[in-house]
Every structure is written in C-alpha cells, then in structure tokens.
Structure 1
Amino acid sequence: MQRLLTDNIDRIKALCISHNVKSLFAFGSVCTDKFNDQSDIDLLISFYPMDYGDYADTYFDLADKFENLFNRSVDLVTDKSLSNPYFIDSVNRTKTLIYGA
C-alpha cells in the first residue's frame, strides 16, 4: 500500500467513522508499484444501512473529503455497484483492507 494511504490512515479512519463506513478497501494502482503522481485512487466502500437520502449525501461528501485529503481524483466504488465479473476479479486481485472488517 502506498505511503499516501499509510501516512493518512488516522484521518482515513476518522472519515470512515464519521461517514457510517462499514469497510474500506484500496484497489488498483494504489496497491501496486504502478502508482504514480498522475494516478487516481480507487477505493471500494461498504456502508452500514442508512436511508437512501442520507446515503447519497454521505457518499458524495465522503468522496469530496477523500479527494481533498489526497489532493487527487478518487474513484469511490460501492460494493453494491459491483456486477461485472471481470471488474470484480480485477478488484479482488489488488484490494487491500484499509478500514473495517
């Protein structure tokens, strides 16, 4: 896992707690040696149950906060949105737990 994540782990955990996150995984280039200054950060997220309206607000607020924290683009993918088996396989090959179970 890249230093960009490990150096900010306490802030990441605090954001997860304040945004009802059940689990957060990094995946893609941020978990490999292919990560560079132009790379975005791919995150796979699972939330605890919440109302739909709260879900949307929480998702977009958290995505914005992660982009501000890392000062780069963040792709925040929800576990419930995964359906393509090839993409799921790609995620599973590199994913690394950052927060939760």
Structure 2
Amino acid sequence: MTDFFDLKRNDVAMLCRRSGARRLDAFGSAVRDDFDPVASDLDFLVEFDDVPPATYAEAYFSLKEGLESLFGRPVDLVTSRGLENPFFRERIDAERRMVYAR
C-alpha cells in the first residue's frame, strides 16, 4: 500500500497544512493485505493543532472532503481526541501507518 499513499504525498501534505492537521495516519484495510483498490474506503486518524471550536468543523470537513476528492473514494476520518474506546484505539495503534506529520 506504500505506493498508493506515496503517489499523492504532496497533495495530502497540502490538505493537512490547510486544515491545521499536524498528523495523519492510515489504518484499516488500506494498510493491510485485504485492501480492495476498487471497493475499499480509506480510514484515517487525524490529530489537529489546537483548532478553535468555532472553526473545528470546517477544518474537519475540509480535510475529509479533500481526501475523498483526492483519492476518489469514501473516507472515514477519526480524530485522535475523539477516540475514547480503548479497544478501538489499541486496534488502530497496532496497524496505523503515518501518511503525514510535521
């Protein structure tokens, strides 16, 4: 799956900078062998800078829609601060792969 994200690394970085994301990790089928290049969606974990509450939704949806447009498929975007389920967090931590960080 490395090539899949590497081909669009600069575009992803631009989207992340624009939305105030400091880190973006892929997880789920996109980083495993069961990824279907035709049917699979993309799962991302995002960590935003300290975005003011008034602009948080705009930053979130701007990044989500930008990623969907860039990759041409649905995106599930999970925020690190909203990830409370310890079992889900453990699963993500076990397979996540950094796509962007600054």
- Scaled by the length of structure 2, what TM-score is found? 0.93
* Cα RMSD (Å): 1.1
Runs of 4+ in structure 1 displaced over 2 angstroms? 1-4
User: Matches of 1:76 and 1:50 in 2, distance apart?
Assistant: 16
- Structure 1 runs not aligned, ≥5 long: none
1:20 paired with 2:8, answer no
User: 1:85: which partner in 2?
Assistant: 86
- The code of the aligned residue for 2:31 comes to C
Residues 22-101 of structure 1 mapped to structure 2, 5 A cutoff: 22-36=22-36, 37-100=38-101
Superposition deviation, residue 2 in structure 1: 4.2
- Structure 2 runs not aligned, ≥5 long: none
User: Matches of 1:53 and 1:34 in 2, distance apart?
Assistant: 39
Superposition deviation, residue 90 in structure 1: 1.0
Identity of aligned residues (%): 34
- Size of the alignment, in residue pairs? 101
User: Matches of 2:92 and 2:19 in 1, distance apart?
Assistant: 23
- Scaled by the length of structure 1, what TM-score is found? 0.93
